[in-house]
A and B are shown apart, each in its own frame.
Chain A
Amino acid sequence: MDAILLQILNGLDKGSAYALIALGLTLIFGTLGVVNFAHGALFMIGAFCTVVVNGLLSLERVTLSETETNPWGEPLEIRVQYAELWFGDFGQLMVDYSVFWSLLFVIPAMLLIGIAMERGLIKHFYKRPHADQILVTFGLAIVLQEIIKQIFGANPIPQPAPDALRGAVDVGAALGLSPGSIIYPIWRLVYFLFAALIIGGVFAFLRFTTFGMVVRAGMADRETVGLLGIDIDKRFTAMFGIAAVVTGLAGAMYTPILSPNYHMGMDFLVLCFVVVVVGGMGSLPGAVAAGFLLGVLQSFASMTQVKALFFGFSIDQVIIYLVAVIILLTRPRGLMGRKGVMET
């Protein structure tokens, strides 16, 4: 029982990352009708924003030692963080909480990147076939990840969570179960709450604001909205920016769980396309539901007991794709897809 609860927690946590990325992907697809293969790259850039902020906060003053030398005979470099030098303990606290500071940087940076991408490139591809959109965004994804690789290298760069949120907490005791039965990392709980917040925020925004209403109307019928004299293009551009911010935040907050590296976007890209399609093209609730569903199923599939049900076959290797196939064959347009979207 504890094991199952634990796996549900794991699944929800995995699912919240999938759901956030899929949400952004669906926002772009639903509003602009563009298949964005560079979406994984946005997730990756969000993660690297925290690397940049962390790097800036922990900039070091380098002085050369007069007496000591390093193993190859050059004077030893003595490094002191400026933050510590200038602000003492408070400076260290700033470095410690750099993930949160970086969110302040991620939002404007991703908004800017998103809008620039839409105005500079994607805009010209609205009328082009989906195949062209795939090629150009895939090319862009490669270019972006190669630039990151040339700046930051190929190895993962660790981004620890703040000290206070680093350990694990006894969830079991909090839920009234026997103490020590469910121990779960704090940061993963933070991530889950954060994801729920963002997802709720996006839905509320689309539901309760005029802007959101226009965008939803535009998603349903772009031409009519245009005929009503509303400049739908401008709103869609903003929507692209918002989608980029959502994805970037998902990446930034994920860094303590997964040390960012330049190819993490590509690793998530295929998975998230599967999530979006299983949810149904263009359906926001579908994307979120599919994200959580696949996350939970993936967690269960990794259990030895579940593998035993399949006679020891490593079902976790294929579970996501198997579920995708089954769902698409039983529900032609995924969980909540609309008729006629991306079917030709």
Chain B
Amino acid sequence: MLAKLLNNKDTMLVIVFSLVVLAAPLLLAPLGAGYPDLMQRFAIFGIFAIGFNILFGLTGYLSFGHAAFLGVGSYSAVWMFKLLSVNIVPAILLSVLISGLFALVIGYVSLKRSGIYFSILTLAFAQMSFNLAYSVLTPITNGETGLQLALDDPRVLDGASTEGVLPSPQLFGLEMNDTAQVPFLGMELQFNVGFYICALILIAAFFISLRIFRSSFGMMLRAVKSNQTRLNYTGINTKPYTLAAFVISGMYAGLAGGLMASMDPLAGAERMQWTASGEVVLMTIMGGAGSLLGPVLGAAIIKYFENIFSRINDNVIEAWFTFLPDWLGDILVTLISPFVGKGWHLSLGLIFMLVVIFLPGGLVEGAQRVSRWTVRSVKRLQHSEPGSSKSLEPGETH
């Protein structure tokens, strides 16, 4: 089936991507990131960034308000848990639908303008959503605290659960927070139901985005990026295409929001703030806007910093260096501690700068350069003619 839809290189790409994603508990455990919450976040923000990339990477329209769709998706999902059932299927469907509608309205208005005027319009809509959700709309959003499940929720379909205990989101009886622990080489691998649901959806989302990239629709979007005026002169109305891309990426964001609420049934207003919108922009640019794998990579790196670096306190660093003499350990601790723990933002800012200064085009392009260089060096070693073959990394789209 896959073979019919994709060429060989893309089939390989999807297969390798799927394998890596599915093996995440094993691959991430040595990095200290192999626990359910973070793996779920990798997958969810991967979906979010993939969706954002369909808009930004293909059309060049830089939306600064995409977090609003994620937030709307989360609120829809939690309301579904509260009113209907804790099964995640209706919740996720509703969150995709509602955020799609929301994106349709905002996209229709914002796409009347282009360039920075478009960016500011989307930013304005998102900031309005955030401000309202945080205070005025508290009856719907539960404001500062965030919308969460309560014991007296109606839950029409499965209201009769155990007295005094909140149910947790599930897929036909499979609870999202069920985890199997498997000891492996001295590590405890955690295979979590929620993560695998996110992972399967991530793979599907990746596949769909690949299809969009390769389709004539995707071609049209790229044409918009390279020269919209020329397209307009040839008599093509680009608005339906850009609007479609906007709505699709809004639905991706809604899907991510719905999944986020399914993994952890709380929807907070902060996930709609401009900093959250900025975060997905950074993920995409850092990974490589317009490439297929870049956004997922960018999402993983930013979330890794936020969740792992912020947890390294002086105590932990000292424990790393206990084998060294005291004075040397102290020096190292003093040198490292500004960059981790409470200083994790500093490292993140430095990484942004380094990536964009030295790897224009993002991490994916960096990886391509490295692989090209390796291939070339290997060739040189074999005394063959240099530059005879062009090797492209999977995900290359240019």
Contact = CB atoms under 8 A, between A and B. Distances in A.
User: Bound pair: A and B?
Assistant: yes
Interface of A: 35, 121, 124, 128, 130-132, 134-136, 138-143, 146-147, 150, 266, 270, 273-274, 277-278, 281, 313-314, 317-318, 321-322, 324-325, 328-329, 332-334, 342-344
Given A274-B123, A318-B128, A329-B121, 16 more contacts: A131-B62, A134-B285, A135-B281, A142-B345, A142-B346, A266-B275, A270-B123, A273-B120, A274-B120, A317-B132, A318-B127, A321-B128, A322-B128, A325-B121, A343-B113, A344-B114
Contact of B360 (A132, A342, A343): A132
A237 to B, nearest CB: 19
B346 A143 contact: yes
B53 to A, nearest CB: 12
B160 interface: no
A329 B115 CA distance: 14
A328 B115 CA distance: 12
B120 A138 contact: no
B127 A132 contact: no
A140 B115 contact: no
A131 B135 CA distance: 32
B120 A139 contact: no
Contacts of B228: 344
Contacts of A141: 349
Contacts of B84: none
Given A131-B285, A150-B343, A136 B125 contact: no
B356 interface: yes
A140 B114 contact: no
Nearest to B339: A146
Contact of B116 (A146, A281, A318, A321): A281
B17 interface: no
Contacts of A333: 117
Contacts of A128: 360
Contacts of A343: 113-117
Interface residues of B, number: 44
B357 interface: yes
Contacts of A321: 123-125, 127-128, 131
Interface string B65-98: 0000000000000000000000000000000000
B217 interface: no
B125 A332 contact: no
A321 B135 CA distance: 16
A138 B109 CA distance: 27
B353 A143 contact: yes
Contacts of A138: 278, 282, 349, 352
Question: At the interface, is chain B mostly helix, strand, loop or mixed?
Answer: helix
A124 B123 CA distance: 27
Contacts of B357: 121, 124, 136
Nearest to B131: A317
A38 to B, nearest CB: 10
Interface of B: 56, 60, 62, 109, 112-117, 120-121, 123-125, 127-128, 131-132, 135-136, 228, 274-275, 278, 281-282, 285-286, 289, 338, 343, 345-346, 348-353, 355-357, 360
A309 to B, nearest CB: 16
A147 B360 contact: no
A140 B278 CA distance: 14
Given A143-B353, A147-B346, A328-B121, A313 B285 contact: no
Give the 4 A-B residue pairs with the shortest CB-CB distance, closest first. Answer: A139-B352, A142-B349, A321-B124, A139-B353
Contact of B112 (A135, A136, A266, A329): A329
B345 A134 contact: no
Nearest to A333: B117
A277 B109 contact: no
A35 B132 CA distance: 28
Given A135-B286, A138-B282, A140-B353, A150 B338 contact: yes
Nearest to B115: A343
Contacts of A146: 343, 345-346, 349
A136 B285 CA distance: 10
Nearest to B109: A329
A311 B14 CA distance: 54
Given A135-B286, A321-B127, A342 B62 contact: no
A134 B127 contact: no
A330 to B, nearest CB: 11
Contacts of A142: 345-346, 348-349, 352
15 contacts: A121-B357, A132-B285, A135-B286, A135-B352, A135-B355, A138-B349, A139-B353, A146-B346, A273-B123, A277-B120, A281-B117, A317-B128, A318-B132, A325-B121, A344-B228
Contacts of A121: 353, 357
Most chain B CB within 10 A, of A281, A313, A314, A344, is at A344
A136 B115 contact: no
Nearest to B348: A142
B139 to A, nearest CB: 13
